[in-house]
């Protein structure tokens, strides 16, 4: 196969400028998530194996990195984010090791379903940054949302994730994709938050499907997303949205409206924080009214307090 395994660099909210490595052919995965943007899984597998030659992956990464550097384009991470589950690649550890010698940090976005395996944990421990999928911690909900391979058991996966989190020395993040009517129930959200609290996370991301999903579904509403954010934030140090905007909480363009939308695309803002922001910028509350009328901003309540969030992108 001569198609490119390495692509980018592309801008990534979580990783800055990222060079992507597609180390799994489409679409081999241990899950067939209802919201998967790659469509239904073509081959459900759980046994890691070799797909591409390590030298081929590394050569392509090296060439792309050199080209990016020549063009003055910074690359913050090389990210294993394939058309399937990256830990299905038995050579992942070796690939990470060699890519790191090129002088870049390596990230892996995984569903975490194979972390009960020692070999998979050993491979993943070599990364600098890992994102684990945690959409559910209850068996029935997990089966509905992630549609796992028939041999997988949540009661094996959860201890595997915990074991990995204990030994991983890089930055560990999670991604929880919320789907209306499946995993957005408050009891499950509380259970997920309790589980995440035991993982020593750098950050937990709350996401919604923003690209056409494999199956018909509705993403969670702004109100639900805010509730989940608040429940997570009560237990976790850092929580952010991943809702389809390249928001940057630190961006300060000097344009009050744009800055407000940028911040509220990453996390909700309390009424007092908004007031303080407007005050500093010399703007009035009519700015908020205007953004709400334009349907760019949504006002919500949680425990009697008002919060503001960027309106979700239109769902296709």
Residues lying near ligand SF4 in the complex (CB under 6 A): 29, 31-33, 36, 38, 41, 84-85, 111
Is the Cβ–Cβ distance between 21 and 89 less than 8 Å?
A: no
Query: Residue 177 Cβ, how far from ligand SF4 at the closest point, in Å?
Result: 8
Residue closer to ligand SF4 (CB basis): 129 or 308:
129
Query: Residue 32 Cβ, how far from ligand SF4 at the closest point, in Å?
Result: 5
Query: Residue 111 Cβ, how far from ligand SF4 at the closest point, in Å?
Result: 4
Residue closer to ligand SF4 (CB basis): 176 or 230:
176
What backbone phi and psi angles, to 5 degrees, belong to 191? Answer: -65, -40
Which CA distances in Å does 251 have to 38, 116, 238, 247, 281?
31, 39, 18, 8, 14
Q: What is the SS3 assignment for 227?
A: helix
Which of these, 212, 130, 222, 221, lies nearest to 167 by C-alpha position?
130
Query: E strands along the chain, which residues?
Result: 6-12, 16-21, 28-29, 43-44, 77-80, 105-110, 129-133, 171-177, 203-207, 239-242, 269-270, 297-302, 305-310
Query: Residue 158 Cβ, how far from ligand SF4 at the closest point, in Å?
Result: 16
Residue closer to ligand SF4 (CB basis): 36 or 196:
36
Residue closer to ligand SF4 (CB basis): 33 or 179:
33
Q: What is the SS3 assignment for 145?
A: helix
Query: Residue 206 Cβ, how far from ligand SF4 at the closest point, in Å?
Result: 16
Residue closer to ligand SF4 (CB basis): 75 or 179:
179
């Amino acid at each position: 196969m001569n198609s490119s395994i390495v692509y980018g660099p592309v801008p990534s909210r979580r990783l800055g400028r990222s060079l992507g490595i597609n180390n799994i052919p489409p679409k081999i995965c241990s899950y067939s998530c209802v919201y998967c943007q790659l469509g239904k899984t073509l081959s459900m597998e759980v046994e890691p194996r070799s797909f591409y030659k390590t030298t081929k992956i590394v050569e392509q990464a090296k060439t792309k990195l050199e080209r990016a550097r020549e063009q003055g384009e910074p690359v913050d991470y090389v990210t294993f984010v394939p058309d399937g589950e990256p830990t299905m690649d038995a050579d992942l550890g070796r690939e990470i090791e060699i890519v790191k010698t090129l002088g870049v940090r390596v990230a892996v976005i995984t569903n975490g379903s194979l972390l009960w395996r020692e070999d998979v944990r050993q491979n993943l421990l070599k990364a600098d940054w890992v994102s684990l999928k945690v959409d559910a911690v209850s068996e029935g909900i997990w089966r509905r949302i992630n549609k796992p391979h028939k041999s997988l058991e949540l009661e094996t996966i959860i201890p595997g994730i915990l074991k990995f989190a204990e030994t991983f020395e890089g930055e560990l993040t999670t991604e929880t994709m919320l789907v209306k009517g499946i995993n957005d129930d408050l009891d499950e959200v509380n259970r997920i938050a309790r589980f995440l609290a035991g993982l020593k996370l750098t950050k937990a991301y709350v996401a919604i499907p923003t690209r056409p999903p494999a199956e018909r579904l509705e993403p969670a509403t702004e109100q639900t997303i805010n509730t989940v954010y608040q429940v997570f934030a009560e237990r976790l140090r850092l929580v952010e949205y991943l809702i389809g905007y390249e928001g940057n909480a630190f961006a300060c363009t000097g344009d009050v409206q744009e800055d407000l939308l940028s911040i509220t695309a990453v996390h909700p803002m309390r009424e007092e924080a908004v007031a303080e922001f407007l005050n500093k910028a010399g703007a009035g509350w009519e700015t908020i009214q205007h953004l709400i009328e334009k349907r760019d901003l949504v006002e919500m309540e949680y425990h009697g307090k008002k919060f503001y969030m960027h309106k979700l992108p239109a769902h296709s």
